[in-house]
Amino acid sequence: MGNESKVIKVENISKCYRIGLKDNMHDTLVKTVFKALKSPLDNYRRYRSLYKFDDINPDSDDMRSDVIWALKDISFEVNAGEVVGIIGLNGSGKSTLLKILSKITDPTNGRAEIVGKLSSLLEVGTGFHSELTGRENIYLNGAILGMKKKEIDRKFDEIIDFSGVEKFIDTPVKRYSSGMRVRLAFAVAAHLEPDLVLIDEVLAVGDIQFQKKCLNKMQDIGQQGRTVLFVSHNMQAVTRLCPRTILLNNGRLVEDGPSNNVVSAYMGADKSTRAIREWDDLADAPGDEAVKLWAVRIRTEDGLVSEAMDIRKPVYVELEYEVLQPNYIFLVYYHLMNSDGLELFETIENDSSWMDRPRPVGRYVSTSCIPGNLLSEGILYVSPAIRTLNPEIRRLRVNDAVAFHVVDSVDGDSARGSYMSNLGGVVRPLLKWETHFTEQMKTQSQKFLKR
């Protein structure tokens, strides 16, 4: 490693698709019959035009209804040995980019240069044939992925070993469970030896066990000095595995930089996962005649509003509200949910100066501090709510008002230490552990004495 040679150079790549295969509906029988007679000619023109873009000016932004730019003017460079994540919403062009780089489809404009042998894993088990045995499929799939027969011969035992299906290696794959199939397929892919790898959501398949195995393998690949482009929706995996991330939005490259920043920008771009929610107008603000919520914010210990939170640092959840009528005793609280919809906790404001006391009319800001090293990685949603206790009425509740992303950049001092794979659990406390070394077995009492 060390040498900063560019292995991927992408210059102004654009990709245009024609999707205008819209069928017109006809409201009368005569029109329908007429259309049926005329349609072969129309169909011919339509299918013919599917790949013709001569009439489209790539520079103009004219949004013709039947043409979409899956990618527009993408440029970036990747150094040898870099592991780069590619994120973006569905339809942002991530997969198209990988397809162009792996030569599956041509760009409409622009060019890219790739130095070295490239393997693309847009799917595991491409070309698996269910009538063939596991052994035969290893050879077939290996060849499809670009391995030479000799290479497969050499790695064959390793592949079988890795897959864990050696008992069924001479059984047709159609009798495999889907899990076995995936394991076998991944085993082949894992034994490729390319200089560059393009991976698309391969990790989204299979059970937790298998995903762990994939992530570990990804880690290995990264550490072997290979260059990896990794498309994923899994923000945890991206921040953990890729120091650098590229964010695509509507076919354009909008961010390129350190993963934490880019992931934060990504979440900020989506309204539903923003770290700040403010209402400008009293009429729009949630609440009733007694109290209105003005804002919910997620801040770091430095007071910055941010979507990405370091797993080791505290998270400040701030609620700004206005009491409109006096003499009420308020209960200000929020729920914290993870992306599976599981409620991690509910917490109530407990500032002693306002406990069980009616609050005067005016603005309030209540801030809670969730300590560092408590939450687990992932996206967390805050649902604030306010009640009055005299009488007991819920005055407002905003589901998933703000969200933040707990990120572990694996510097070694978080709860995961330097372990890279998935850790379970909805919380991730940093517990105090002690390990003592004893040279030989001693009696219980001696052990206690030693302490």
Partner 1 sequence: MSNKGNVALTIIKPRSGWQVIDFKELREYRDLFFSFVWRDVKVMYAQTILGLSWAILQPAIHIVIFTIIFGKVAKIGTDGIPYVLFSSVAIIPWNYIAQSMTQSSHSLISGQNMLGKIYFPRLVFPIAPILSKLVNFGISLLIVSGIMIYYRVSPTVNLLYLPVFIVMMMLVPAAVGLWLSSLAIRFRDVQHIMPFFIQLLMYTAPIIYSASTIPEHYRIFYSLNPLVGVIEGFRACMLGMPIPWHYVWPGTVVGVLLLFTGALYFRRMESIIVDVI
Q: Given the rule CB under 8 A, which residues bind partner 1?
A: 1, 13, 17, 44, 47-48, 50-51, 80, 99-118, 120, 122-123, 126-127, 129, 131-132, 136, 139-140, 143-149, 172, 195, 224-225
Nearest distance from C-beta of residue 423 to partner 1, angstroms = 31
Nearest distance from C-beta of residue 174 to partner 1, angstroms = 9
Nearer Cβ to partner 1, position 200 or 310?
Answer: 200
Say if residue 391 is preceded by a cis peptide, omega within 30 of 0: yes
Return the structure tokens found at 77: 């460079």
Nearest distance from C-beta of residue 151 to partner 1, angstroms = 9
| Distance between CA atoms of residues 410 and 412, nearest Å | 5
Nearer Cβ to partner 1, position 148 or 442?
Answer: 148
- Measure Cα distances from 73 to 14, 56, 101, 138 in Å: 5, 15, 14, 39
Nearest distance from C-beta of residue 415 to partner 1, angstroms = 34
Nearest distance from C-beta of residue 47 to partner 1, angstroms = 6
Nearer Cβ to partner 1, position 112 or 295?
Answer: 112
Report how far Cα 297 is from the mean position of its chain's Cα atoms.
23
| Distance between CA atoms of residues 154 and 152, nearest Å | 5
| Distance between CA atoms of residues 427 and 187, nearest Å | 32
Element (H, E) at 84: strand 83-87
Nearer Cβ to partner 1, position 194 or 287?
Answer: 194
Nearer Cβ to partner 1, position 8 or 285?
Answer: 8
Nearer Cβ to partner 1, position 148 or 363?
Answer: 148
Cβ burial, residue 106 (10 Å; 0-12/13-18/19+): exposed
Amino acid identity, position 337: M
| Distance between CA atoms of residues 408 and 375, nearest Å | 11
Dihedrals φ, ψ of 107, to 5°? Answer: -75, 160
Nearer Cβ to partner 1, position 120 or 422?
Answer: 120
| Distance between CA atoms of residues 372 and 196, nearest Å | 37
* 3-class SS string, 255-307: EEEEHHHHHHHHHHHCHHHCCEEECCCCCCCCECCCEEEEEEEEECCCCCECC
Nearest distance from C-beta of residue 308 to partner 1, angstroms = 33
- For residues 122 and 185, is the Cβ–Cβ distance under 8 A? no
Nearest distance from C-beta of residue 59 to partner 1, angstroms = 15
Nearer Cβ to partner 1, position 224 or 325?
Answer: 224
- Measure Cα distances from 417 to 183, 192, 311, 422, 428 in Å: 28, 29, 12, 12, 12
Nearest distance from C-beta of residue 18 to partner 1, angstroms = 8
Could you tell me whether strands 83-87 and 244-249 are parallel, antiparallel, or unpaired per DSSP bridges? Answer: parallel
Nearer Cβ to partner 1, position 251 or 287?
Answer: 251
Nearest distance from C-beta of residue 132 to partner 1, angstroms = 6
- For residues 166 and 176, is the Cβ–Cβ distance under 8 A? no
